[in-house]
């Protein structure tokens, strides 16, 4: 693996409108857009998280209220890896991937987890077009790997089932 350094399980939620007195206000799944960026040689981009050494994932981020998932994708990708939408084109997308946050996750107080739309995109730029030195860096490095080389141990336990589903659905691979 050559790295570049720069500095679901579908879960159901109760439809009950009565919040449990012990749980506080009803929480929902946060909408999220995630990027699978693929080069011509079919290698995909993975990024190493700044807050967790040797944790690798696809760039992703929340969908703001009133925002479409595709617009969130464009915004989040630019915020997280400095990549303009002019350097990639959407090939396909799939929605409905859900995971629950780990109990200790800081966003747990507001949301149960995330419901993701994954966008598989063709990269048309060059490595220099990816810039991890953004305003709020989330990643410290990135790599291009063949999908079958992805190691499930690189992602937190609570996200693993979604990654298994994503690799099955987009690449017809079993990474479990």
Q: How many domains does the chain have?
A: 1
Taking only the tens place, the pLDDT of each residue in 55-73 is 999 999 999 999 999 999 9
CATH number at residue 54: 3.90.79.10
What does the alpha-carbon distance between residue 81 and residue 49 come to, in Å, rounded to a whole number?
Answer: 11
Is residue 57 in a domain? Answer: yes
Instruction: Give the least confident one: 6-15, 53-62, 80-89, 136-145.
Output: 6-15
In a domain, 19, yes or no: no
Looking at the domain assignment, is residue 94 inside a domain?
yes
Is the residue at 15 inside a domain?
Answer: no
**In this structure, is residue 95 part of a structural domain?**
yes
- Within a domain: residue 159? yes
Per-residue pLDDT of 157-168, as tens digits, reads 889 999 999 999
Q: How far apart are CA 39 and CA 44, in angstroms?
A: 6
Inside any domain, residue 12: no
In a domain, 114, yes or no: yes
The 10s digit of each residue's pLDDT in 137-150 is 999 999 999 999 99
Contact call for residues 101 and 79 (beta carbons, < 8 A): no
Q: How far apart are CA 5 and CA 74, in angstroms?
A: 23
Q: The domain containing residue 52 runs over which residues?
A: 3-7+28-171
């Amino acid at each position: 693996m050559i790295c570049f350094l720069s500095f679901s399980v579908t879960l159901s939620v109760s439809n009950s409108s009565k919040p449990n007195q012990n749980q506080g206000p009803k929480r929902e799944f946060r909408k999220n857009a995630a990027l699978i960026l693929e080069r011509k040689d079919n290698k995909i981009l993975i990024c190493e998280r700044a807050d967790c050494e040797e944790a690798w994932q696809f760039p992703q981020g929340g969908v703001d209220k009133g925002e479409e998932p595709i617009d969130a994708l464009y915004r989040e990708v630019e915020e997280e890896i400095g990549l303009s939408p002019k350097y990639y084109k959407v090939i396909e997308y799939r929605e409905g991937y859900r995971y629950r946050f780990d109990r200790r996750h800081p966003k747990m107080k507001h949301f149960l987890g995330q419901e993701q739309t994954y966008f598989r995109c063709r990269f048309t730029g060059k490595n220099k077009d990816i810039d991890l030195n953004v305003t709020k860096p989330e990643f410290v490095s990135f790599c291009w790997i063949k999908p079958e080389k992805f190691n499930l141990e690189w992602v937190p336990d609570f996200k693993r089932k979604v990654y298994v589903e994503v690799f099955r659905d987009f690449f017809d691979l079993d990474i479990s």
